[in-house]
């Protein structure tokens, strides 16, 4: 699960907000029966709070964590600005040319940046860096994201991702715990 970009979204928010948590990795190709009791659909991530309440789906878990826990707010307080970030997520590719700040949500890292980042972290492992050659704004964003403490703490290097993918496509049970 640590290689899943959807789960990584939630981990980034947990890290950015300094929320203590426990991670339970599962084999995404052979999910244990107990997991379907947590989420009958079987998707990750699922978070369980101290009251035993379960929250599923990456964007929903991230918003819940931002609202339920104190500290730096990753979503703007202003409803319009919050809606703008959600629209950016929905139409990401259309926004790239209109971006005027370092981060997608403004001058500092916010929820939208964490929700998009996991796919960009994987570009190098898929040997797709060349597709970024003509996107200076996106390259500046990626460089700034790499310096973010939450992103640094959860960084998975390209070789580890490549080795995980090699095991994953072979349906190896070793894939989900690779590198631990």
Just list the catalytic residues. Answer: 4
Please give the torsion angle defined by the CA atoms of residues 61, 17, 48 and 151, in that order, rounded to the nearest 10 degrees: 70
Q: How far apart are CA 55 and CA 72, in angstroms?
A: 21
174 alpha carbon, distance to own chain's centre: 22
CB neighbour list of residue 24: distance below 8 Å, 6 or more residues apart: 1
Question: Backbone phi, then psi, for 46, in 5-degree steps?
Answer: -130, 130
Helix axes 58-68, 111-121, angle to 10 degrees: 140
Task: Identify the three-state secondary structure at position 18.
Answer: coil
Nearest to residue 150, comparing CAs of 80, 67, 95, 71?
71
Q: Give the DSSP H or E segment for 17.
A: helix 5-17
């Amino acid at each position: 699960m640590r290689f899943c970009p959807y789960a990584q979204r939630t981990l980034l928010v947990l890290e950015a907000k300094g929320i203590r948590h426990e991670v339970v990795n599962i084999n995404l190709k052979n999910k244990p029966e107990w997991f379907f009791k947590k989420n009958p659909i079987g998707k990750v991530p699922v978070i369980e709070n101290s009251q035993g309440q379960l929250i599923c789906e990456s964007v929903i878990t991230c918003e819940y964590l931002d609202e339920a826990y104190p500290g730096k707010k990753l979503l703007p307080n202003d409803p319009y600005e919050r809606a703008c970030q959600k629209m950016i997520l929905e139409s990401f590719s259309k926004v790239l040319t209109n971006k005027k700040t370092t981060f997608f949500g403004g001058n500092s890292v916010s929820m939208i940046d964490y929700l998009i980042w996991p796919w960009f972290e994987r570009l190098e492992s898929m040997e797709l860096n060349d597709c970024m050659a003509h996107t200076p704004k996106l390259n500046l964003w990626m460089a700034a994201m790499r310096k973010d403490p939450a992103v640094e703490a959860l960084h998975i290097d390209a070789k580890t991702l490549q080795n995980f993918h090699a095991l994953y496509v072979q349906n190896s049970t070793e894939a989900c715990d690779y590198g631990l």
